[in-house]
Structure 1
Amino acid sequence: MLEHGGRLARAARRYGVPVEAWLDLSTGISPFAWPVTSMPAAAWHRLPEEDDGLADAARAYYGSAHLLPVAGSQAAIAALPRLRAPSRVAVIAPGYAEHAHAWRQAGHAVTTLPWADLRERAGEFDVVVLIRPNNPTGEWLGTSDILACHDTVGAHPGATGARAAPAREQDNPWLIVDEAFIDTRPDDSVTPHARDGLIVLRSVGKFFGLAGARAGFVAAAPPILDALAEMLGPWTLSGPTRHVVTRALNDRVWQASARECLRHAATRLATLLGRHGLTPDGGSDFFQYVRRHDAAVLADRLARHAILVRAFDDPSALRFGLPGDDAAFARLDRALAEVTR
């Protein structure tokens, strides 16, 4: 399995610090979680039912008529490669490593490319995977660029110069766009544009702070969603998860407040990092990204202050999630003053 943020218990064992004493900034999950309160007993006792209001709430929130609930966007990342025959796949890099890993595990030929190269070479591939905003760099890809890329995927210069018509819908060229961190910019999402060959992944865990619920959605043409649903089987979301996610998706007042909190905290974090010589090289409303040749060393030093951040090797960089309150910001400020001296 690949490395991910959030492995707090492992860090606690390694550094000998109790879990409750840590400040976990390693995941990019919003610290301003939607408040889960009471849960009807039926959500625990009955099998989940599809006509419980979740589909309507999701269609209204995401602006797409064709959606499939999945156990976090990770479930779709792992399953989509298994729907296709062996294909030529391009994945944006640097980026969320599970994408390239899943396609390789399923036997596809995978090339990782920065956006500038991928955009020019999209026609060489059967599948292109993009992330916006990118994780971990925060790089932003414009909607017009994404839609233009969708029109180019699978053109295969030097061959027919046009898309063939395969026997199965799922063997047409695909553009997959992972929008796990886009919820603070809902009007910029390409989810409403999902159609033949354009597949969009959405996460509930990041913006709503409900990572433990393991919920997400896939927007795509119905044949793709049907094939994915057949592969994943029934009851992809538990009854309690469906209940909580329905309420969260319908809570427009909380959503507006959360977006403002996230934007403010992201700006505050960027300013704080800059004061310590760690001016971000990128970021989003959920995290800040800093390239450092000594990223692993700095992450270790912060861990000795019981602050967990995510370190990357290629390129060497750190990703800082958002502190959730004044005390957390002050704690990070003090630790950085020591570890960057």
Structure 2
Amino acid sequence: MGEARVWHGGDLDEARRLFPRAPEPWIDLSTGINPIAYPVPALPASLFARLPSPADHLDLEAAAAQAYGATDAAMVVAAPGTQVLISLLPHLRGRGRVAVFGPTYAEHAHSWRKAGHDVVEVQSLDLLDRGDVAVVVNPNNPDGRLIGREALLRLAEDLRPRGGWLVVDEAFADFDAGESLVPVLPSNVIILRSFGKTYGLAGLRIGFALAPEPVVTSLRSALGPWAVSGPAIETGRTALRDREWLEAARGARAADASRLDALLSSVAGAPLRGTILYRLLESIRAPELFQVLGEHGIWVRRFQYSPHLLRFGLPRDEAEWQRLETVLGRYSQH
């Protein structure tokens, strides 16, 4: 019997399988990726022809440390995407009890369980300190729930006496960063940060862990040399140091999120939630809406644990906005 499949966004092959008569091109709103990507700098051919140097790799980590507010670049580990780090962390300590604050990004519980840990998904912050490891996505995917810094610091302190870890996935914190633990990183906390979502360059596969020295050492060993490609290093460090672009993108995407809320309000059965990069709609009619959108070539994210939820990413351009508005308008009137 095979492993249970974990659903993810961005799978247009699945969209075309479910809706073979839908018009092309598809509008993919199923991910939480910035639809307006950072402009990739001109890259010299030599980046593709040689292995990246250790100095370049360290410079990428230094750029990440500065961007995220870390006190020391030595606490930063660059990896080919945060998913790799999520998969590696469960192998860095003996099997134990892991509490995941859910519902949330399913790969966390899946990865710890696959590595042999006893995983429980809890829906109360007060229950997280009962495990050897606590996992929190902050802001949460998909509902945008945000846990305050002081509450997380108390949780880390409760875990400390038994050598427990607090893993905080801050994949969407670049645009919703008020409660990041990076600047005050306790010695038993591991922070994960995503590059591709904020900068719209998910295909580059860059992610970071910010962690205490023993975890940093173990992650570097597990990743091995040349974990991040030369072109990714060059693009990543350029983008991370471009604070002007980040601030402009934050404002523009916040305006887009407000525009999306206005469109979705006519079909939502409850207040909309989420982050700047995606909005979560709850309605008993969500399965019907998913079907209608799919038939019109608009792919949104549904969830295994609740048929009443749909997550909408941001349209890329005015043509996509107009297609979405037309379909939602017709749907809300019938």
TM over 0.5: yes
Unaligned runs of 5+ in 1: 155-162, 165-171
2:60: which partner in 1?
A: 54
**8 Å CA contact retained: 1:33, 1:208:** yes
Q: Secondary structure at the match of 1:275?
A: coil
1:40-68 CA-partner distances (Å, limit 9, x unpaired)? 11210111112123122111111112100
Percent identity of equivalent pairs: 40
The answer to whether residue 191 in structure 2 is matched with residue 200 in structure 1 is yes
Deviation at 1:9, TM superposition (A): 2.6
> What is aligned with 1:159?
none
Offset at residue 90 of structure 1 (A) = 0.4
Q: Distance in 2 between the 1:97 and 1:153 partners?
A: 23
Post-superposition offset of 1:222:
1.1
Instruction: Specify the alignment match of 2:44 in structure 1.
Output: 40
- 1:263 partnered with 2:254: yes
- Residue 20 of structure 1 deviates from its aligned partner by 5.4
Say if 1:48 and 1:148 are closer, same or farther in 2 by CA, change over 3 A: same
Matching of residue 213 in structure 1 with residue 204 in structure 2? yes
CA shift in 2, pair 1:17/1:223, >3 Å: farther
| TM-score (norm: length of structure 2) | 0.92
**For 1:25-50, what per-residue CA distance to the aligned partner results, in whole angstroms no more than 9, with x for missing partners?**
00010112101141111210111112
* Change in CA separation of 1:46 and 1:140 when aligned onto 2, cut-off 3 Å: same
Q: Is the 8 A contact 1:302 1:339 kept in 2?
A: no
Amino acid at match of 2:317: D
Alignment length, in residue pairs?
Answer: 323
- Pairing 1:109–2:118 present: yes
**Secondary structure, counterpart of 1:218 in structure 2:** strand
Instruction: Name the CA distance, whole Å, in 1 between partners of 2:27 and 2:206.
Output: 24
Query: What is the CA–CA distance in structure 2 between the aligned matches of 1:19 and 1:203, rounded to whole Å?
Result: 32
- The 5 Å alignment of 1:1-341 reads 1-16=5-20, 21-52=25-56, 53-64=59-70, 65=72, 66-114=75-123, 117=124, 119-153=125-159, 163-164=161-162, 172-277=163-268, 279-316=270-307, 317-340=309-332, 341=334
- Range 238-247 or range 329-338, more displaced: 329-338
Structure 1 range deviating more: 181-190 or 310-319: 181-190
Kept after mapping to 2: 8 A contact 1:8/1:19: no
Determine the C-alpha separation between the residues in 2 that align with 1:196 and 1:208: 29
Structure 2 spans left out of the alignment, 5+ residues: none
Partners of 2:101 and 2:137 within 8 A in 1: yes
Instruction: Judge conservation of contact 1:262–1:286 (CA < 8 Å) in 2.
Output: yes
3-state SS of the aligned residue for 1:21? coil
Note the C-alpha offset of 1:187. Answer: 4.5
Distance 1:290 1:277, change over 3 A: closer
Distance 1:337 1:207, change over 3 A: same
Structure-1 separation of matches of 2:67 and 2:21: 41
User: Counterparts of 1:326 and 1:141 in 2: how far apart (Å)?
Assistant: 34
Q: Indicate if the aligned counterparts of 1:143 and 1:190 stay in contact, CA closer than 8 A.
A: yes
1:70 partner letter = A
Amino acid at match of 2:110: H
The TM-score with structure 1 as length reference comes to 0.90
CA drift of 1:279 comes to 5.0
